[in-house]
Amino acid sequence: MVAIDRSTRKLVDMDAGTVSREIFCNQDIYDQEMQQVFLRSWLFVGHESQIPKPGDFMLSRMGEESVIVTRDKQNQVQVLLNSCRHRGNLVCRYDQGNATVFTCSFHGWSYDSTGALVALPYHDGGYNDMVKQDWGLAQARVETFQGSIWATWDRAAPSFVDYLGGAEVYLRTQVLGTDGSDNGAEVLGGVVKWRLGCNWKVPCPDVDRTHGWITHKSLNDAFGVGPTGFPVRRGQGGQRAYAGPPRSFCVAFPEGHTMGVTLPSEDDANWGDAGVWADKPIIREYLREKYEIRKRRLGKMASLSVGPAIFPNEGWLGRVIRIMHPQGPLMTEIWTYFFVDKDAPQEVKDELAFYYERWYGPGGMTQQDDMENWYNLTIASKGPMARTLDLNYQMRLSESPIHGPSKFGLPGLFTPIYSDENHRRFYRRWAEFMEAKDWDELRVREPAK
Ligand code: FES
Ligand SMILES: [Fe+2]
């Protein structure tokens, strides 16, 4: 373990509401968080719809490391470290496919889809003394949640739902079908992947509602257009939340999960981004019809609107998941998965694909604005002088969050939407992971559910 000169408590000072820039650029801190955070957390690695049949596989990441996500002959999802036990070569080099055996390209050691070592070509009896069961691929703990696949290397970690600490209520709304059906969503097409010169934590914690009015100003004011040509950006988000009694909040969990939540209501204001599709009757009618079914299934909760970011590196934008994979202290590989209803007509899926391409990803209208700032703040923060100056997370520092279960009947700690509380919760939890020896020390004493 790398020793850090400054204690993490000083690197992340949540009483003062400050965070040291070192945690976004220091190699020693980065090496430590790969062990302390990424070896012990539950990490999103994909969705079951990407590997529907036995033998289907895809490559994913856990922290910096490549993993094979595959479905074995028993239909169980397996997550295997993509590193040969012989001399460490990548065992699988295809992004996706179907295979019952993964054969290493160096000396041909072969593993089945549970990771077991099943063949040692040309060894000529030379491995007769080797206990082959001990030399399979490393196998992660796996849990699925409404089709989404999560994995951890830590056998002592709590179950995935315990890890969520109540955030499952919000995560669930994202992965249901629009009609509220279980396992109703699928990943549309491939995964969009791009590299950006910033630390993985920069795009992570949700919510940062004070950036939109200026970061996305050209989009809102100059273009004034939404993805279908309809002017939907103007007046959305935080501005809309403050037009009446506050319904949108920052919601955080002591477990480090953060999100923006718009409370469910009896009116239909939130249904399926209705305004976006005003000039696309096919989508509008499809969503309207599915939303009616959703209301019957979920009642008032049908209109709960949320974008949960699950600690450490997962986050939602609408019905899009972004995963921030660390690739060194100053490099992040962002993987974006687009979700649609699996039983939606092809026409609807095609329209949604077009919508997603225009909004999200490296060429998307909103993401490229954000990327510009994330990159520039990295350049402007990594120098020796800049590193001496802490970053400010003091908005609403002295306000106590509202306990969601007692006030709203919903889990989480609620603060007004213009607040740094979600960021503070994220960095507090990060510091706890960096300091804790094991999961006993990481157990949350006062769950917000
Ligand atoms: S490194 Fe894989 S078989 Fe030798
Ligand atoms: Fe943004």
pLDDT score of 247 more than 50: yes
Ligand lying closest to the C-alpha of residue 117: 1
Report residues near ion ligand 2: CB below 5 Å.
Answer: 370
CA of 155 to the centre of ligand 1 (A): 27
CA of 108 to the centre of ligand 2 (A): 47
Mutate to test the pocket of ligand 1, among 109, 111, 122 (most ligand atoms within 8 A of CB): 109
Predicted local confidence at residue 264, as pLDDT: 84
Alpha carbons 351 and 153: distance in angstroms, whole number: 38
CA of 370 to the centre of ligand 2 (A): 5
Q: Whose CA is nearest to atom 1 of ligand 1?
A: 87
Mean pLDDT, rounded, for 316-324? 89
Lowest model confidence (mean pLDDT) among 141-145, 149-153, 169-173, 244-248 = 244-248
Ligand lying closest to the C-alpha of residue 371: 2
Q: Percent of the chain scored above 90 by pLDDT?
A: 70
> Is the model more confident about 310 or about 275?
310
Task: Give the total residue count for the chain.
Answer: 449
Residues 6+ apart with CB under 8 A from 160: 42, 143, 145, 150
Mean pLDDT, rounded, for 185-194? 93
CA of 373 to the centre of ligand 2 (A): 9
Residues 6+ apart with CB under 8 A from 15: none
Q: pTM to 2 decimals?
A: 0.93
Lowest model confidence (mean pLDDT) among 141-145, 184-188, 240-244, 280-284 = 240-244
Q: Which atom of ligand 1 is nearest to the CA of 88?
A: 1
Predicted local confidence at residue 222, as pLDDT: 65
Cβ atoms of 171 and 223 within 8 Å: the answer is no
How high does pLDDT run on average in the chain? 89
pLDDT score of 239 more than 60: no
Q: Which atom of ligand 1 is nearest to the CA of 89?
A: 1
Lowest model confidence (mean pLDDT) among 10-14, 22-26, 281-285, 434-438 = 281-285
pLDDT score of 271 more than 50: yes
> Is the model more confident about 199 or about 175?
199
Mean pLDDT, rounded, for 34-56? 98
Any ligand 1 atom below 6 A from CB of 109: yes
CA of 269 to the centre of ligand 2 (A): 23
Any ligand 1 atom below 6 A from CB of 104: yes
Alpha carbons 287 and 292: distance in angstroms, whole number: 9
Q: Percent of the chain scored above 70 by pLDDT?
A: 90
Any ligand 1 atom below 6 A from CB of 73: no
Alpha carbons 9 and 57: distance in angstroms, whole number: 41
Q: Whose CA is nearest to atom 3 of ligand 1?
A: 107
pLDDT score of 292 more than 80: yes
